[in-house]
Amino acid sequence: MKSAIEQTLNQDVPRLMRRHLAVRSAYVFGSVATGFERVHSDVDVTVRVDRGLTPVEMFDLRLKIADALEDLLGRPVDVVVLNTASLKMIHQVMTTGRRLYAADPEEETAFRLQKRKEYFDFQYYLKDDRKALKAFYGC
């Protein structure tokens, strides 16, 4: 049997996201998504929003969604806007998170593929930087 949190995430969160037309997708990640949540764990959610939103609009939307999710789940909720997250964070969400909502699944798949490509391109440069640092410090 699914927990109350899982039922709310699966049923109520998609309905909530549909009410916010600027939300393109939403994921749960962190301890709740991986099954390592504790009684007092917060719920980590990320949303991808329309590109045209200003930083102020993104911030306001993030707060509205966080408040609504806290009311639904009865727990603290941390909402991250995927549009402004680091590639490392996006990779974590895409590999360990669970999608709750996608306004357009094909668009979401294209976004995921693009970010995966960017992440692996970025890894090449990180490895070079690590090698250079190790050589510099004699490790």
The residues spanned by each domain of the chain are 4-104
- What is the C-alpha to C-alpha distance for residues 97 and 134, in angstroms, rounded to an integer? 32
pLDDT at 1: 37
Backbone angles phi, psi at 103, to 5 degrees: -65, -35
**Strand-pair partners of 49:** 23
Residues 95-127 pLDDT 10s: 999 999 999 999 999 999 999 999 988 887 777
pLDDT at 136: 82
4-104 folds as Beta Polymerase; domain 2 (3.30.460)
Spans of the chain, pLDDT less than 70? 1-2
pLDDT at 135: 80
- What is the C-alpha to C-alpha distance for residues 117 and 26, in angstroms, rounded to an integer? 20
pLDDT at 2: 59
Instruction: Using alpha carbons, select from 95, 83, 91, 89 the residue that is nearest to residue 115.
Output: 91
